[in-house]
Amino acid sequence: MSSAATPVSPARARAERIEANCKIIWGDDKEYDIFHETDDYVYYICYVRTIIQKNRFPDPGPVLVQSPMCPSEAEAWTELDKMLAIGAKNVKASRDSERQK
């Protein structure tokens, strides 16, 4: 019997990577709302914001980062992914530097 794992779609892998990088940058103790918007399907922007719990109801918090306006949804997600990867790398490097002091 084979125990091969179900392949993860590229979009799912990117979503997991984006969320993991958010946790590295802003903390594992927060919930993140990661979404996109478009202006009549001409330009797309992706956002990350925190979810704030108020009186047991989730409330959107401030936008933490947004992608530049892109001509496609896929490009906007790619830009956000790249921005967060760079941010997470910088946070890790800073933590490593602090540990070495």
- Model confidence pLDDT, tens digit, residues 14-72: 999 999 999 999 999 999 999 999 999 899 999 999 998 877 788 889 999 999 999 99
Q: Please identify which residue in the block is written with the tokens 């979503």.
A: 15
**Domain-located, residue 52:** yes
* The predicted structure's pLDDT at residue 3: 55
Helix (H) or strand (E) run with residue 38 in it: strand 31-38
Higher pLDDT, 45 or 5: 45
* The predicted structure's pLDDT at residue 4: 66
Q: How far is CA 43 from the centre of its chain?
A: 19
**Domain-located, residue 26:** no
Per the structure, the complete domain to which residue 85 belongs is given by: 35-89
Q: How many domains does the chain have?
A: 1
Q: Which residues contact 69 (CB under 8 A, 6 or more apart)?
A: 43, 44, 45, 76
* The predicted structure's pLDDT at residue 34: 96
User: Is the CB of residue 16 less than 8 Å from the CB of residue 49?
Assistant: no
* The predicted structure's pLDDT at residue 58: 80
